[in-house]
Chains A and B, each alone.
Chain A
Amino acid sequence: MMDWPFYLDSVFPALNRGLGVSLQLIVPSALLGLAGGVLLGSLRVFGSPRLRRAGDMYTAVLRGVPLVIQLFILYYVLPKIGLYLDGFSAAVLGFILCSAAYHSEYVRGAFLSIRQGQLKAAQALGFSPLQSIRFILLPQAMRLALPGCGNEIVYLIKYSSLAYMTTCVELTGEAKVLASRHWRYTEIFLAAGLYYLCLTSLASFILHKIEARAHIPGFGRQK
């Protein structure tokens, strides 16, 4: 039986508050994570051998270690180097560092799959290396990487729930606090789950729209 007053007075206000915090976590993390991933992915393809190796190493480590542990390490390491961040900022930083690693993997793969001739043609026209990357290779790579990066953003939405581990009370945190107070885990977490489902579905929808808009004959999803 639905206990409407409980929902209307306690659950929804708390979850809405949490949703707000979650969105503040997700949006900057997604944007900066993607930007970082593009940069890192480019470095891993076009950088000097040493930079490339460093980039590969960074990516392997961040993709191989559970995000919770990364967040904990960050949360405890930062004060030791004189950087006092609250749980929220530590979480955002952790999300950016981690999703940059994941994005870079797609970006790198996309760069590597572009035909060699594209770069040659650009050079033959007098493009500088940086211009060739910026105007010829990157626009192609991003179209190829878009589905993968989009998935990554959807993942980020779900993993934003880990911010609660660094004492940042967002959607999951609000749900947990409320659920343990009333011991009504089923309803509250079902509701929280639906909030996340809305977010992830909305994000997928928007990303598909972007993909469709960026679609060019001869690129990406075509049978």
Chain B
Amino acid sequence: MNEKTGTFPEPALRLEEISKSLGGRLILDAVSLDLRKGERKVLIGPSGAGKSTLLQCVNCLVLPDRGRIFLKGEELDQSDNRALRLFRRRVGMIFQDFNLFDHLTALGNVGIALQKVRGLPKAEAESRAVEELARVGLEGKASMYPAELSGGQKQRVAIARALAMDPEVILLDEPTSALDPELAGEVLTVIRDLADGGMTMLMATHQMDFALALADEILFMEQGRIIEQGVPSLLLAPGSGTRTLDFCSRLALGAEGRI
């Protein structure tokens, strides 16, 4: 049981009726969701359900066709590029395929936005970057280039890069699905540490056991809509007959004994 739900008074992120069509197909159909400070919500659902598009709509990497976005109660003006950039600074994003900057070392990857976006002096940006790398357990890899890092290490650098900006919310788009199972573990550990530190998170994942352990609430998406949501223990209670349970049991197909 998770007693934490309902104990987050402060709103962090709020989406209202976000819709998006791509190539004539409706990808997101008036999706709304609320994320309070320190809350962790996990998006699950079949591929093509719109999870990734939803996450990218949150910080307008994909501009929604309709819908409103609020951060700490302030609405984001999606047509104001300056406001958009300030907003993105406050919302960290972790990509499925890492998207480390290939021409920069691990240290450079973490430091560059500090220096160029936040305007910190070089030395300060660097020492902050060193700190963040240490936080994800990569203090020894600072001078390595992305091509020299394993997938798990790359994703940890990407997390450090996002954390260095002191985000108020972190969006994670299937952070481990491009990784071998043995490498996924190290990334999951880092994410769990973050969660324990009280970070507000919205994550899409296929890693069910992890989602269950972490989530305050599960949002089940299908065909561009959130069709079920709730506390994991309720949504996945045996015999609850939810779509979520059905989806998870088909995903599991093994005796990993979740819940």
Contacts and interface: CB of A to CB of B under 8 A. Distances in A.
So, do A and B actually touch in the complex, CB under 8 Å?
yes
A218 B116 contact: no
B145 interface: yes
Contacts of A136: 101, 103, 112
Interface string B132-162: 0000000000000111100000000010011
Interface in A100-140: 115, 117-118, 120-128, 131, 135-136, 139-140
A117 B99 contact: yes
A50 B43 CA distance: 41
A145 B103 CA distance: 14
Given A131-B117, A217-B148, A126 B99 contact: no
A73 B95 CA distance: 53
B145 A216 contact: yes
Interface string B59-103: 101000000000000000000010001101100110101111111
A135 B112 CA distance: 8
Contacts of A52: none
A91 B79 CA distance: 47
Given A123-B88, A125-B89, A126-B85, A216 B103 contact: yes
A115 B99 CA distance: 9
Contacts of B59: 124
A126 B146 contact: no
B175 to A, nearest CB: 13
B113 interface: yes
B116 A219 contact: no
A118 B101 contact: yes
Interface in A195-223: 216-219
A122 B165 CA distance: 12
Of residues B81, B117, B161, which shows the largest number of chain A Cβ atoms within 10 Å of its Cβ? Answer: B117
A124 B145 CA distance: 21
A139 B103 contact: yes
A218 B230 CA distance: 44
Nearest to A135: B116
B95 A120 contact: yes
B230 to A, nearest CB: 29
B146 A125 contact: no
B113 A127 contact: yes
B116 A120 contact: no
A143 B101 CA distance: 13
Nearest to B109: A121
A123 B61 contact: yes
B94 to A, nearest CB: 9
A135 B111 CA distance: 12
A118 B92 CA distance: 15
Interface in B17-57: 56
Given A125-B161, A131-B117, A135-B116, A140 B85 contact: no
B85 A127 contact: yes
A118 B229 CA distance: 33
Interface in A39-56: none
Interface in A139-184: 139-140, 143
Given A139-B103, A218-B145, A127 B117 contact: yes
Nearest to A131: B116
B99 A121 contact: yes
B146 to A, nearest CB: 6
Contacts of A217: 145, 147-148
Contact of B99 (A118, A127, A218): A118
Contacts of B165: 125-126
Nearest to B94: A124
B104 to A, nearest CB: 8
B112 A218 contact: no
A126 B88 contact: yes
Nearest to B92: A124
Contacts of B61: 120, 123-124
A81 B253 CA distance: 78
Interface of B: 56, 59, 61, 81, 85-86, 88-89, 92-93, 95, 97-103, 112-113, 116-117, 145-148, 158, 161-162, 165
Interface of A: 115, 117-118, 120-128, 131, 135-136, 139-140, 143, 216-219
5 contacts: A117-B97, A118-B101, A127-B85, A128-B85, A217-B147
